[in-house]
Amino acid sequence: MALSGVDLRLARGQVYVLLGPNGAGKTTLIRILAMLEQPSAGHVRIAGVDARRRPVEARRLIGAVLHQSLLYGDLTAEENLLLYARLYDLDDARKRVREALDGIGLGRRAGDPVRTLSRGMRQCLSVARAVLHRPHVLLLDEPYSGLDCRAAHYVSRTIERAARGGCAVLLTTHELDRGLRVADRLGILSGGRMLAEMWAREVSPVALRRLYAGALADV
């Protein structure tokens, strides 16, 4: 999906929710910001670091949750997190991994291969993996899809905590209610264009729904 003329600014401590139908370009935008794809034009800057010129430095500042879990099924939960902790040069790797596992209630199953965990658990672990190195920017692509209440609750809590800690959070979803609940700011993306942006506190669920439907009808 091609994007054009999208100018997105994320502020520290702010949760930005990107709404849009399937094929709107949400995933492409996340992948460009996560530096997994090069935009044909335009640039990405993270806390003043130019992503193209200093990619390794920029990557250190980003945490991302994508559609896939990014976890090795045959490694244990602990081994997966330890691997990433070492790749991100965390000094207190073991301690942080331990805390992260306890935080998602996986302390007891730390030694089980990820393959044997439930989908919700895996998603929690995937989110824990993304915030392990305390990123400045947290990107989440449809983090709620197919989750049970407990896992969804954990995801929301992690997002809140990250934002409170000064992290800029961008998440995509096509569920309006959920989006409105966690958002500080909202954007509607469709057909590769940003159709509207608004503050969450200034819009009611009904108004948002009307706006969303209207924006889609215009395309």
Per CB under 8 A, residues contacting another protein are 31, 34-38, 40, 56-57, 59-60, 62, 64, 66-75, 79, 83-84, 86-89, 113, 129
What whole-number distance in Å separates Cα of residue 10 and Cα of residue 193?
17
Locate 35 and state its tokens.
């530096």
CB atoms within 10 A of CB 134: 15
Q: Which is nearer to another protein, 179 or 192 (CB)?
A: 192
Q: Which is nearer to another protein, 139 or 188 (CB)?
A: 139
Q: Which is nearer to another protein, 52 or 153 (CB)?
A: 52
Q: Which is nearer to another protein, 138 or 195 (CB)?
A: 138
Residue 186 CB, shortest distance to another protein, in Å, is 26
Q: Buried b vs exposed e over 151-161: b needs ≥16 C-beta within 10 Å?
A: bbebbbebbee
Residue 135 CB, shortest distance to another protein, in Å, is 10
Locate 144 and state its tokens.
């709620």
Residue 150 CB, shortest distance to another protein, in Å, is 21
Task: Give me the torsion for CA of 97, 98, 100, 103, rounded to 10°.
Answer: 170
What whole-number distance in Å separates Cα of residue 176 and Cα of residue 169?
17
Residue 208 CB, shortest distance to another protein, in Å, is 31
Q: Which is nearer to another protein, 60 or 209 (CB)?
A: 60
Locate 81 and state its tokens.
């997190």
Helix (H, G, I), strand (E, B) or coil at 90: coil
Residue 183 CB, shortest distance to another protein, in Å, is 24
